[in-house]
């Protein structure tokens, strides 16, 4: 079973990266429906358990089969590299209800039990109301499940894009695809995604391709966006193994004595490039303190910095990597 995208030269010129807070929201809702498949997110599941209990996500879950089509309008490929949730959800709210109905019908096709449910029938009977109900649910899910953790998630997603942008320049598009996910391969101008139910083929025709890293879709690479949406691939972001780990738990005592606890924690937190706000949120430190620590570490040659979008990302130099490596310290007082 595979999904194939056929690209020409104009499509390759229009390939780009983007991140999607709305996409992460619908993926987070899917994780809640199948928590046993997502061991890496158990700390997050514990954090949001109480708040999530107040959400009625059944209408969304009804439209999120374990395999097969999920409504594209839940999270259309973003038009901008780093959109806000508010921008994305406003775009969805403005959709033609008939487009919504067609997407719902495609999702429910071949699932007679789901189609006969009162919820599905109500959604299909009034697609304008369905759009309001479903977008309101997605917005509530964003506020409860994702927004409180968005600085941490965004930092990891932006770091992934920065890393893979450099890899694209270094190794080219064909090799990059295999690095994004083992499900992706390239041959004779065709991008193939294996592990997707059914067979599907789409000629991009100059629209280009959006590559979107995802935390909550891990470990799967997924696609399936139908016209009029721009073709996109959602791939598993790098570095989620340490996403929910407190950096202080990984800070060697010897390094803390050398640099001071705060600076050592900042250095050890930079497993992936991150900005000041994301680090402050992750470590529970004041923004001014993190900014000062970053400045000192950069001045000492342990960090480098570069601008990405509207923020500055910091990452460790080889010396900083060597100092932060846990194998270099015994952790004893």
- What tens digit of pLDDT does each residue of 9-26 get? 899 889 999 999 999 999
Question: DSSP letter at 37?
Answer: G
Taking residues 307-321, report their average pLDDT: 79
E strand intervals along 108-209: 184-187, 190-194, 199-203
- What tens digit of pLDDT does each residue of 233-287 get? 999 998 777 777 655 556 778 888 889 989 999 998 887 778 888 888 778 888 8
Output the pLDDT for position 329. 41
The phi and psi torsions of 244 (rounded to 5 degrees) equal -100, 10
Output the pLDDT for position 112. 87
Q: What percent of the chain has pLDDT over 70?
A: 92
Per-residue CA distances from 36 to 31, 67, 95, 183 (Å): 9, 16, 34, 22
**Residue carrying structure tokens 């696609």:** 223
Same domain, 179 and 109: yes
42 within some domain: yes
Same domain, 285 and 212: no
- pLDDT category at 328 given cuts 50, 70, 90 is very low
Of 236, 256, 286, which residue constitutes the final position of a domain?
A: 236
Output the pLDDT for position 332. 37
Range of the domain at 70: 2-236
32 within some domain: yes
User: Is residue 327 predicted with pLDDT exceeding 60?
Assistant: no
Q: Judge whether 317 and 325 are in contact, CB under 8 Å.
A: no
Count of structural domains within the chain: 2
Among 287, 289, 288, 281, residue whose Cα is nearest residue 244: 281
208 within some domain: yes
Helix, strand or coil for residue 125? Answer: helix
Of 187, 208, 236, which residue constitutes the final position of a domain?
A: 236
**Residue carrying structure tokens 């879950």:** 61
Helix, strand or coil for residue 240? Answer: helix
Same domain, 9 and 81: yes
**Beta strands 2-6 and 190-194: pairing type?**
antiparallel
Dihedral sign of CA atoms 311, 316, 320, 324 in order: positive
- pLDDT category at 66 given cuts 50, 70, 90 is confident
Question: DSSP letter at 72?
Answer: G
Of 236, 267, 285, which residue constitutes the final position of a domain?
A: 236
- pLDDT category at 321 given cuts 50, 70, 90 is confident
């Amino acid at each position: 079973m595979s999904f194939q995208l056929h690209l020409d030269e104009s499509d390759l010129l229009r390939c780009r990266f983007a991140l999607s807070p709305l996409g992460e929201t619908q993926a987070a809702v899917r994780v809640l429906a199948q928590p046993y498949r997502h061991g890496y997110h158990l700390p997050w599941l514990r954090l949001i358990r109480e708040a999530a209990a107040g959400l009625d996500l059944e209408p969304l879950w009804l439209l999120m089969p374990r395999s097969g089509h999920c409504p594209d309008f839940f999270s259309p490929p973003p038009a901008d590299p780093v959109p806000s949730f508010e921008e994305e959800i406003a775009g969805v709210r403005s959709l033609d209800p008939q487009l919504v109905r067609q997407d719902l019908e495609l999702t429910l096709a071949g699932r007679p039990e789901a189609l006969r449910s009162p919820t599905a029938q109500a959604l299909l009977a009034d697609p304008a109301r369905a759009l309001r109900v479903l977008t309101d649910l997605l917005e509530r899910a964003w506020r409860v499940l994702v927004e409180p953790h968005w600085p941490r998630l965004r930092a990891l997603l932006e770091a992934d894009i920065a890393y893979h942008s450099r890899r694209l320049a270094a190794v080219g598009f064909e090799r990059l695809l295999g690095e994004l996910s083992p499900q992706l391969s390239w041959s004779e101008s065709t991008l193939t995604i294996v592990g997707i139910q059914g067979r599907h083929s789409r000629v991009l025709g100059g629209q280009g391709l959006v590559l979107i890293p995802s935390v909550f879709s891990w470990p799967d690479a997924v696609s399936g966006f139908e016209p009029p949406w721009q073709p996109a691939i959602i791939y598993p972001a790098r570095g989620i193994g340490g996403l929910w780990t407190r950096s202080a738990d990984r800070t060697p005592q010897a390094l803390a004595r050398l640099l001071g606890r705060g600076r050592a924690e900042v250095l050890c937190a930079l497993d992936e490039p991150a900005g000041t706000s994301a680090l402050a949120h992750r470590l529970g430190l004041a923004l001014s303190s993190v900014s000062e620590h970053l400045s000192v570490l950069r001045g000492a040659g342990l960090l480098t910095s570069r601008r990405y979008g509207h923020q500055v990302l910091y990452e460790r130099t080889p010396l900083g990597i060597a100092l932060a490596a846990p194998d270099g310290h015994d952790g004893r007082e």
